[in-house]
A and B are shown apart, each in its own frame.
Chain A
């Protein structure tokens, strides 16, 4: 059975322990292979929503990833399906060498030494950084670190890639390089970002969030032309 539906969130509500309601009745369906942008002002709930994709946060409501319900017994499996890349690469790159960081996922999955090596090579190849295996993450530029971060989840062969502000902090050249890289990756892609130019170029579907709710969900080309809608939700038209 091929599961066509990558993500299903139904009536998703989430409040933080201090009472702050971060997600209100979120309904979301994403099909396998779609490329989706998540935009909105700071505090809209984008990061909170992202953390639901791999079960780091679990709100009330129905949540399914490729047919797997999100629940405590399932989380490790979900984390193999969903590769979540955080905004700050320094938070993700904690090993002495690039190789070890990219190898973390496969090692945890219990793969043999040879399989691990193969996965790491493939992942680094996908991000065009094959020669960086023995480099020290600390000494890389932010653009290089971002690409390595993506490799650290690619090595787990996820079906979905979730990225939090992928182009933040990048100079134009690195940004161009990243956009090129993302356009090559076959996985279902969800990216939370302020970078509307990237959205227009790369992601055909856009979801606008504000105040914990989904305000609009549709074709990027349509939404980005709706100046009123953008301005109302803290975004600036291109």
Chain B
């Protein structure tokens, strides 16, 4: 079927379990908070609106444009969702999209889904909202403000989220910060331009056809203050932290080790069970060979069992 891989969906195995769990917590808190807010604001209409919009964003990510040769650019849609239905509903919409991508299309892992959700559905939306509000206000309601704010909001959502991905990879000890941050940041600074352009294109059609759908009324301002602040803080935090971490990767790794984030740090557990209790296990090569034999036996056993069951059924 369709796959809209962006470079931001992290697969399983790349983040340490501690980091994964941590970001699951952050995501769940954000989602729970969003649910509460959405219930207050939208009432009954929320389910059909968000459900269909999630389907549209999911499908919208298929609308690619050719960059060079075989590569193409895609939409993520966090900024557009935010401009259309406001930040709280957008978080839920993007959660549905990202979760479905992971569950059904293996676009992003399942244990790391918490992190992917936080990066794309929460941070992507929060940063979009904060940037859009701030820049749109600068233009004092002039039409051109919608497009400029939209572009920068979309670009920021991609760029800032990518910095967070890099940080998560560095904290897990998978890649060092001085590699991950510039690489992710650099690539996504470019990808973000694509997102910005697509967003402007979409806004052009929306503004021409149904300007009432663009959710930029200041009336909801008060309600959305928490996410405005959150968006600003997260963006600033990452913008400041990333160059620091990048220039001192060892420092970050030291912090990660101190707090047990690293994937490789398992020492405390071994010391509890001394090696001599399981003598044969001590020799790693022997264990690997044994595992290979055992594994092969398991597979053949199952395969034989299936064939036997089929034969038995055929003859009965």
Contact = CB atoms under 8 A, between A and B. Distances in A.
A67 to B, nearest CB: 28
Interface in B200-225: 204-205, 207-210
A94 B209 contact: no
Interface string A88-111: 000000111100000000000000
Interface string A219-238: 00000000000000000000
A94 to B, nearest CB: 7
Q: Which of B207, B208, B209, B210 has the most CB of A within 10 A?
A: B208
A95 B205 contact: yes
A64 B205 CA distance: 37
A136 interface: yes
A163 to B, nearest CB: 25
A20 interface: no
A138 B205 CA distance: 9
Nearest to B205: A96
Contacts of B210: 138
A14 to B, nearest CB: 21
B209 A139 contact: yes
Q: Which of A96, A97, A137 has the most CB of B within 10 A?
A: A96
A188 to B, nearest CB: 30
Interface in B177-220: 204-205, 207-210
B214 to A, nearest CB: 14
Contacts of B207: 96
How many of chain A's residues touch chain B, expressed as a range?
under 10
Interface string A116-159: 00000000000000000000111100000000000000000000
A216 B207 CA distance: 49
Contacts, number: 16
B213 to A, nearest CB: 11
Nearest to A137: B209
A124 B210 CA distance: 25
Q: Which of B204, B205, B210 has the most CB of A within 10 A?
A: B205
Nearest to B63: A94
B105 to A, nearest CB: 18
User: Binding site of A, secondary structure by majority: helix, strand, loop or mixed?
Assistant: loop
A98 to B, nearest CB: 11
Contacts of A137: 209
Contacts of A136: 208-209
Interface in B217-251: none
B205 to A, nearest CB: 5
Contacts of A139: 209
A136 B205 CA distance: 9
A90 B205 CA distance: 13
Contacts of A96: 204-205, 207-209
A153 B312 CA distance: 62
A63 B204 CA distance: 40
Contacts of B209: 96, 136-139
A138 B204 CA distance: 12
A149 B210 CA distance: 21
A177 to B, nearest CB: 24
A206 B259 CA distance: 77
A142 to B, nearest CB: 15
A97 B207 CA distance: 11
Interface string A60-103: 00000000000000000000000000000000001111000000
A12 B209 CA distance: 42
Contacts of B208: 96-97, 136, 138
A136 B207 CA distance: 10
A79 to B, nearest CB: 15
A96 B205 CA distance: 4
A221 B62 CA distance: 46
A139 B205 CA distance: 12
B70 to A, nearest CB: 14
Contacts of B204: 96
A237 B44 CA distance: 50
B63 to A, nearest CB: 9
A24 B43 CA distance: 53
Interface in A165-209: none
A22 B210 CA distance: 39
Contacts of A138: 205, 208-210
A106 B204 CA distance: 21
A138 B210 CA distance: 9
A5 B83 CA distance: 52
A95 B209 CA distance: 10
B294 to A, nearest CB: 40
16 contacts: A94-B205, A95-B205, A96-B204, A96-B205, A96-B207, A96-B208, A96-B209, A97-B208, A136-B208, A136-B209, A137-B209, A138-B205, A138-B208, A138-B209, A138-B210, A139-B209
The 6 closest A-B pairs by CB, nearest first: A138-B209, A96-B208, A136-B208, A96-B204, A96-B205, A136-B209
Given A95-B205, A96-B208, 8 more contacts: A94-B205, A96-B207, A96-B209, A97-B208, A136-B209, A137-B209, A138-B205, A139-B209
